[in-house]
């Protein structure tokens, strides 16, 4: 890998991949095949958490993160074939937040596709989202790859429909990851049946990429880094030769391998998780599969986020992270071990002072 640094950008060039750069929280993904004419890329932006204050006022920091990500996406050369937004456009699911976020995203050039997050869903159960962006789950094919988009943040009917006196309280309860009144996310029977029928039409040698908001695995229930019916979804994906699941929600670098399925998270445009001020208390409870963050500087508001480049060759994901004011990271699929690995583990000696303190 060749890395060239200057004051404004880091440029990363990987053999067989695109030359890309930036310091913003978007992901450029290239799927590479033996026939290079079939290679293509798409960009990924996630977890903006646009928050309404009053009238035309919104939390500026979250606005800035999304606006900058959109601007950087539009500067990509070559142009990505499409752009994915990975969910949690809004913070509390209001029309004002969704409209404002949609207006910012409308500046994107080219085709944009959307994944729904819990912060978009639990006020009106996705009704306004569908008017703005279309169905909550769907699939599409592009240049030999089958893509599936799931709404993975539903939960039990009793919690959704019977427990809360108002929709606003339901939204507030689900918005807090540490809230004991929350409920585990799931895809649900309706979508599982749909997914089974959808995948029945796909050749088992076709690369499959699944976009979800929650991880489609069971990482840490206390923070809802968890999908209740993950095992059932994984079983439906098991017959395929190569599967990649790309998800948002966790606001941190994660990766995992379960059988034929590679799991990789994308970073947020809003804030890191754990929140920097709680890092000392939360570190021992970090999910086992979470890579130490090495980027959460509480004195630098954008240090939560960074640039992520994903190269997927026949279903295996290699990830290059360019992190604001921190050492870059590479998570690469190890063919011998059959799993993704951090190429240089970030031990205590390589951590920045604010991370050590928090």
Condensed to tens digits (0 to 9), the pLDDT of residues 109-149 reads: 999 999 999 999 999 999 999 999 999 999 999 988 899 99
Choice among 46-55, 111-120, 230-239, 314-323 with the minimum mean pLDDT: 314-323
Longest dimension (CA), the chain: 57
pTM of the predicted model as reported, rounded to 2 decimal places: 0.82
Residue 9 CB partners (closer than 8 Å, separation 6+) = 21, 22, 23
Using one digit for the tens of pLDDT, what is the confidence trace for 276-290? 444 444 444 444 444
Cβ atoms within 10 A of the Cβ of 131, count? 10
Distance CA 74, CA 77 (A): 9
Bridge partners, residue 318, by sequence:
311
Q: Provide, rounded to the nearest whole percent, the portion of the chain with pLDDT above 90.
A: 41
Which H or E run includes 230?
helix 230-237
Mean pLDDT of 292-303: 46
- Per DSSP, helices labelled H in 146-200 are 157, 167-175, 189-200
Using one digit for the tens of pLDDT, what is the confidence trace for 34-72? 566 667 778 888 999 998 888 888 887 778 888 888 888
Distance CA 39, CA 26 (A): 20
């Amino acid at each position: 890998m060749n890395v060239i640094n200057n004051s404004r950008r880091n440029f990363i060039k990987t053999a067989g991949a695109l030359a890309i750069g930036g310091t913003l929280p978007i992901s450029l993904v290239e799927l590479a095949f033996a026939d290079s004419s079939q290679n293509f890329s798409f960009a990924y932006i996630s977890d903006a958490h646009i928050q309404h204050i009053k009238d035309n006022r919104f939390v500026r920091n979250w606005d800035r993160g999304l606006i900058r990500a959109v601007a950087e996406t539009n500067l990509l050369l070559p142009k990505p074939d499409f752009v994915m937004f990975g969910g949690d456009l809004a913070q509390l699911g209001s029309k004002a937040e969704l409209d404002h976020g949609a207006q910012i995203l409308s500046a994107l050039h080219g085709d944009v596709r959307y994944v729904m997050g819990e912060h978009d869903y639990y006020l009106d159960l996705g009704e306004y989202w569908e008017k703005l962006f279309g169905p909550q789950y769907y699939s599409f094919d592009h240049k030999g790859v089958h893509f599936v988009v799931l709404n993975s943040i539903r939960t039990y009917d009793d919690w959704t429909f019977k427990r809360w006196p108002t929709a606003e309280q339901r939204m507030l309860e689900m918005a807090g990851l540490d809230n004991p009144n929350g409920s585990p996310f799931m895809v649900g029977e309706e979508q599982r049946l749909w997914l089974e029928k959808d995948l029945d039409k796909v050749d088992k040698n076709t690369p499959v990429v699944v976009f979800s908001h929650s991880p489609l695995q069971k990482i840490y229930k206390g923070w809802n880094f968890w999908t209740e019916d993950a095992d059932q979804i994984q079983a439906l994906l098991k017959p395929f030769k190569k599967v990649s699941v790309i998800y948002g929600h966790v606001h941190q670098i994660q990766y995992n391998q379960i059988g034929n399925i590679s799991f990789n998270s994308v970073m947020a445009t809003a804030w890191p998780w754990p929140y920097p001020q709680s890092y000392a208390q939360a570190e021992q409870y970090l999910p086992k599969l979470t890579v130490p963050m090495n980027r959460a500087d509480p004195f630098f508001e954008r240090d939560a986020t960074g640039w992520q480049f994903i190269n997927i060759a026949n279903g295996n994901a290699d990830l290059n992270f360019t992190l604001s004011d921190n050492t870059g990271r590479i998570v690469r699929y190890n063919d011998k071990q059959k799993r993704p690995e951090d190429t240089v583990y970030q031990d205590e000696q390589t951590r920045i002072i604010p991370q050590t303190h928090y």
